[in-house]
């Protein structure tokens, strides 16, 4: 009708679909590998427990890949354009989002007592160490999908 305004649904745009896929693929590739290392050699889980943890982790990474990407982008807006600042904020983003989820995954998969505590502490240390490498990996995957890197400050009229 003349004068009628149509609202577009940005959640189903090709860009949002590519963003979802890119962020999810990055999360699955990176953290399946690091999860196996932590679960087997730090938490001391059996291979069967590691397998179950990775199945649960993989299933959970599908719905949380993009929300984590958005969380990281939001957190990274606080980072200054220095290596130390990016390292710090990438680590904060990863710690605050992923460690609670990871703790639940390994608890459900059979880690308990001291092994559970070691697994959570190991994951926390890994998230601190891997925050920036994962952020760089995520940005690289986004580039492969034709997307801009995340965490950029929005443009300002004063810049």
Q: Give residue limits of the domains in the chain.
A: 17-145
Is 50 exposed, middle or buried, given 0-12, 13-18 or 19+ CB atoms closer than 10 A? Answer: buried
Angle between helix 113-144 and helix 83-108 axes, rounded to 10 deg: 130
Query: pLDDT > 90: what percent of the chain?
Result: 48
Please state the pTM of the whole predicted model. 0.74
How confident is the model at residue 3, as a pLDDT?
Answer: 46
Q: How many residues does the chain have?
A: 159
| pLDDT, tens digit, 9 for 90 and up, residues 70-117 | 999 999 999 998 999 999 999 999 999 989 888 888 888 888 888 889
How confident is the model at residue 115, as a pLDDT?
Answer: 86
How confident is the model at residue 150, as a pLDDT?
Answer: 78
């Amino acid at each position: 009708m003349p004068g009628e305004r149509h609202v577009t649904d940005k959640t189903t745009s090709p860009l949002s679909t590519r963003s979802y896929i890119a962020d999810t693929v990055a999360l699955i590739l990176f953290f399946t590998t690091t999860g196996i290392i932590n679960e087997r050699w730090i938490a001391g889980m059996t291979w069967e427990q590691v397998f179950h943890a990775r199945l649960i982790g993989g299933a959970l990474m599908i719905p949380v890949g993009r929300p984590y990407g958005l969380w990281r982008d939001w957190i990274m807006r606080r980072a200054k354009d220095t290596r130390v600042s990016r390292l710090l904020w990438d680590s904060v983003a990863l710690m605050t989002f992923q460690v609670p989820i990871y703790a639940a995954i390994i608890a459900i998969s059979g880690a308990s007592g001291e092994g559970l505590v070691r697994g959570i502490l190991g994951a926390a240390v890994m998230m601190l160490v891997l925050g920036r490498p994962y952020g760089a990996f995520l940005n690289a995957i986004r580039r492969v999908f034709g997307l801009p890197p995340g965490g950029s400050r929005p443009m300002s009229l004063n810049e």
